[in-house]
Structure 1
Amino acid sequence: MTDVLVVGAGPTGLTLACDLARRGVDVRIIDKSAEFPHGSRGKGLSPRTLEVLDDLGVIDETLAGGVTHLPHRRYRGTQVISEADPEAGREPTDEIPYPVGLMIPQWRVERILRGRLAGFGVEVERGTELTALDQDADGVTAAGIRARYLAACDGGRSTVRKVLGLRLRGETPDVQLMAVGDVEVDGLTRDAWHQWFTPAGGIMLCPLPGTASFQVQTSHELDGNGNPLEPTLERFQQTFDRIAAVPGVRLHNLTWRSTYRVQVRMVDRLQTGRVFLAGDAAHVHPIAGGLGMNTGIQDAYNLGWKLGLVVRGHAAGRLLETYARERLPIASQLLSITSEVLDLVLDAIRREGGGLDADAARDLSQLALKYPWSRLSRQHVTRPDGPQAGDRMPDGKTGDGRLFDLLRGPHFTLLGPPVVKDETSDLVKAHVIEGSDTLTLVRPDGYVGLIAGPTDLDAVRRYLHDL
């Protein structure tokens, strides 16, 4: 019997598998595809997701594979009518080392995470499809594998979700289908996200860093009855010529294509017995705001440390109930945000000069997400500033270097005055912070679990005991 079977090797499943493997959990990860995906699909990582990847030890490779501050350039034909960097002026600080999102194709994120996972001796088992599962009091059997727990990270068309009889509830907004593809382009520079919006439709071409390709996003060409036609290279070119009408721009070498329909849906539960849902298997977001892939990665980050503690006997099974209690409200909140952003963008592109940066005023960094309602958030003393229980723990400078360097790893981190120096254990690493007047216990996923008085070590011990 393996400890955890992860179904689906996209960003969510790979993040979960990496987090479990580094905790010494016996994990297997399967995917029904015979080959690894090569399409760009999602192409942006939020600042909070970059912090997750920092903790997983892959931040340098991730940053090297992407680009920040890519301006949005809008045209009428050949004329540039506006240009904007939606994240202009956002610079790194001690507390926020990654203040802006990173443009990076999804296939590269997956490749980086697969490499990290391989470092733990775990490989994706390709061409392995789950068609049914059976669970009992001791475990789950699926795809010929027996596991103590199963995590469904198998996307919006999740087989696991369907087998469990769970539904994605919500709506399909009355928004036209979008054709998406990866193409090479002659006649356009790679220094901006090129965008054309007209009453006849829109087309956008975004350079994919580290490649020769652009991601093209456009409205579909239609047949004589008004039905959308399958996207092809010829039709992408036809759409560009019809909407942009820029001479000398030629699209070629189409390597991936897809059709995207806006969905705003989520399940009403993330756990059924020993089976958990994460990412698109649990909630499907509009493309606006780019929060879908990021929310899935953070689902995995929340679930991973809890499964790790339970599997290794450091926590009771009821800890796993906090996964849904923390992440379902977040998913609902983010669905509302992405729906509002979609409305903003659709309204903006109808006006001359408007575009995707209509959401620039919104905080899509996910740095402000918190769990103050969780039973894992305990505030024993009040303090006028600084993070509170349930908040993300910011980075900062300490006598030992960056605070994130102290947090990195599968452990809890206890920060406080010299009284903490003897509190390091198998679960906790303690660090003296000069001038600290409270005890701060940071969860393995970087959120503050406990704020207590400067000598109240009993509160820390009760917190850990109650796990």
Structure 2
Amino acid sequence: MALNSVKETGPGTETDVLIVGAGPTGLALACDLARRGVRALVVEQSDTLFPGSRGKGIQPRTMEVFDDLGVVDAVLASGGRAPVGMVWQDGSRQGEHDMFERPGPTDTEPYGEPWLLPQWRTQQILYVRLRELGGEVSFGTALTGLSQDAYGVTAQLSTGTAATADTSTTGTSTIRAAYAVAADGGRSTVRRILSIAMNGESVDPAPVLVADVRIPTLDRLNWHVFPGGSAGYFAVCPLPGTDDFQAVGQFVEGEPDTSPSGVRKLIAARTHLAEEEVTEVLWASDFRPRAAMADRFREGRVFLAGDAAHVHSPAGGQGLNTSVQDVYNLGWKLGQVLRHGALEALLDTYEQERLPVAAQMLGLSTRIHRGEEQRGAATMQLGLGYRGGPLASGGAGALEAGDRAPDGPLPGGRRIFDLFRGPHFTLLAVGTDAELPVLDDELVHTHRIEAYEPYGKGLFLVRPDGYVGWAGEDMSGLAEYLVRCC
């Protein structure tokens, strides 16, 4: 099917994909679809982007996703390395304690440690990118109903009173889409409408307060940790690229007071700082750490992604990252079906691949929260892959299908990741003179490179999301694989 053709999705279809929620999950998906020429409508119940710092840790694998989406330079310019922890006791510094492994960048892994960036800034960057790609968000628009048939979904939307406090623009509308994606968080309206259960456990019965504050008298060189003993932990982390700190406090007893006064009193009670040293309280919220996952990630033409599909303890910084990688997996598959005529069975592989990963990340976050495991290589998510999955076929050299495709230097200052960047598949012939097929250049870019140890020698078909889909020493099986995906 030609690149600019539109697969028939039934009468009255107004957009290809309806995305509910303009958090990092929804915005990342919208960016990915936009660059594929897929029409997407993003609706967000709030009037503006989320204002808080909540998911502030960007893991190395997500940095690679942002590289491909064209936003990594802005992310690097706006954020910074996680500072080393400083433990305090009775108003005195007790010594530094680094909470992260920092292996540093390598040829194969160019982003070597977590990068701190407040969630509101991540969303701003993705929103700017979406608009550059011709997309937009419909703010102040709530989803109130959703139904589907064999050809698409029908959504009821409400603006004004049902979605915002502005009664001057009250209205309702109906939109028809080929598919819908729930990116509307842990209390997902879409999930509730679909009656998909969310099962899990309470990670910790103690509620937690998180707030963005300004404390000019506190240095920004460390992540300040205040062991609270029986009162619960408390930490204050400088947010790079801003004048703000993120304060996080556990409540072993009582309930958090998220008012500005309550936040100031909490900081004064748990640290050596006085209330008046907290000059601004910009945002505050509270939550109870929970690990839960939806029974399924797909219901017909509707997909769940991000917190709508799984919720984590924030320990280990897995939530936002797993969410972005959900839609990085889903986006190219929707693009192949809607723009290139791929079989709809390709969409079944979203749940087949992502549900096990989400379950793994839930377990990891819970163990870190409970002190049973430390942050390390697993939290960076570079080792995640889809070996043995429905889209993994073959192996060659040092890699098996399903592995993350490594980066590496190329002549002329280029890198292997430069070859991957974009919505296409990439066929790499590494250290081999094997015959290569003539392929549609819109779908598959073909390159020969010299033998490279992280790959070994062979042919490697790299999916648009950076994982090896097929590998072999010759072309046997490649054509059959491409039929499944293209």
**TM-score, structure 2 normalization:** 0.88
Question: CA, structure 1 residues 422+203, in 2 after alignment: closer, same or farther (shift >3 Å)?
Answer: same
**Alpha-carbon distance between aligned partners in 1 of 2:441 and 2:101, rounded to the nearest angstrom:** 44
Structure 2 CA distance for partners of 1:466 and 1:36, relative to 1, 3 Å: closer
- Counterpart for residue 300 of structure 1: 327
Deviations 1:8-36 (A, max 9, x none): 00001111111111001111111100122
Aligned residue among 392, 416, 424 for 1:377: 392
Indicate whether 1:72 and 2:103 are aligned.
Answer: no
1:186 aligns with 2:198: no
| Partner secondary structure for residue 112 of structure 1 | helix
Matched, 1:259 2:279: no
Q: 1:426 corresponds to which residue?
A: 442
CA contact (8 A) 1:233 1:252 kept: no
> Which residue of 452, 456, 461 maps to 1:441?
461
SS at match of 1:132: strand
Question: In structure 2, the residue corresponding to 1:130 is in which secondary structure?
Answer: strand
Deviates more, 1:415-424 or 1:181-190: 415-424
SS in 1 for 2:469: strand
Instruction: Give the superposed CA RMSD.
Output: 1.8
In structure 1, what is the equivalent of residue 480 of structure 2? 462
Q: Using the alignment, how far apart are the partners of 1:281 and 1:174 within structure 2?
A: 20
Between 41-50 and 89-98, report the one with greater CA deviation: 89-98
Number of equivalences: 446
Asked if structure 2 preserves the Cα contact closer than 8 Å seen for 1:188 and 1:249, the reply is no
The alpha carbon displacement at 1:173 in A equals 3.0
| Runs of 5+ consecutive residues of structure 2 not aligned to the other structure | 1-12, 158-173
1:245 positional shift: 3.0
Question: Identity across aligned pairs (percent)?
Answer: 44
Amino acid of the structure 2 residue aligned with 1:41: R
CA distance in 2, matches of 1:316, 1:441: 19
Q: What amino acid maps onto 2:374 in structure 1?
A: D
Residues in 1 aligned to 2:274 and 2:177: alpha-carbon distance in whole angstroms = 58
Distance 2:22 2:274 in 1: 41
Matches within 5 A, 1:269-348: 269-344=296-371
Q: Could you tell me which residue of structure 1 aligns to residue 162 of structure 2?
A: none
> Against the structure 1 CA distance between its residues 174 and 97, is the aligned structure 2 distance closer, same or farther, given a 3 Å change threshold?
closer
What is the alpha-carbon distance in structure 2 between the residues aligned to residue 38 and residue 259 of structure 1?
Answer: 14
Aligned counterparts of 1:362 and 1:75: Cα–Cα separation in 2? 27
Q: Which residue of 1 aligns with 2:3?
A: none
Aligned: 1:391 with 2:399: no
Distance 1:429 1:445, change over 3 A: same
Q: Which residue of 2 aligns with 1:204?
A: 235
Distance in 1 (alpha carbons) for counterparts of 2:283 and 2:130: 26
8 Å Cα contact 2:209/2:256 also seen in 1: no
Q: CA deviation at 1:195?
A: 1.1
Given candidates 128, 139, 143, the residue that maps to 1:115 is: 128
Partner deviation per Cα, 1:390-433 (whole Å, 9 max, x = no partner): 01011011236200000011000000135338445221000011
**1:120-152 deviation per Cα after TM superposition (whole angstroms, max 9, x unaligned):** 111110011001101001100112211000000
Q: Contact 2:211–2:282 at 8 Å: present in 1 too?
A: yes
Q: AA paired with 1:431? A: H
Q: Secondary structure, in 3 states, of the residue corresponding to 2:236?
A: strand
Letter of the 1:202 counterpart = Y
- Aligned residues of 1:68 and 1:102 also touching (Cα < 8 A): yes
Q: Cα offset for 1:63?
A: 0.7
Paired amino acid for 1:178: V
Compared with structure 1, are the counterparts of its residues 382 and 457 closer, same or farther at alpha carbon in structure 2 (3 Å cutoff)? Answer: closer
Q: Unaligned stretches of 5+ in structure 1?
A: 346-357
Q: CA deviation at 1:91?
A: 1.6
| 1:153 paired residue number | 183
**Length-normalised TM-score, structure 1:** 0.92
- Look up the SS of the partner of 1:373 in the other structure: coil
Does residue 57 in structure 1 map to residue 70 in structure 2? Answer: yes
SS at match of 2:378: coil
Checking the alignment, whether the CA contact within 8 Å between 1:77 and 1:246 is kept in structure 2 is: no
For 1:71 and 1:270, locate their aligned partners in 2 and report how far apart those are by CA, in whole Å.
37
Q: Aligned-pair distance for 1:437? A: 3.1
Tell me what 1:81 maps to. Answer: 94
Q: Secondary structure at the match of 1:150?
A: strand
Read off the aligned partner of 2:316 and give its amino acid letter.
G
Runs of 4+ residues over 6 Å off in structure 1? none
Query: Does the C-alpha gap of structure 1 residues 461 and 181 become closer, same or farther in structure 2, counting only changes over 3 Å?
Result: same
- The letter for the 2-side match of 1:167 is A
Q: Which amino acid aligns with 2:28?
A: T
Which residue among 359, 372, 381 is the counterpart of 1:366? Answer: 381
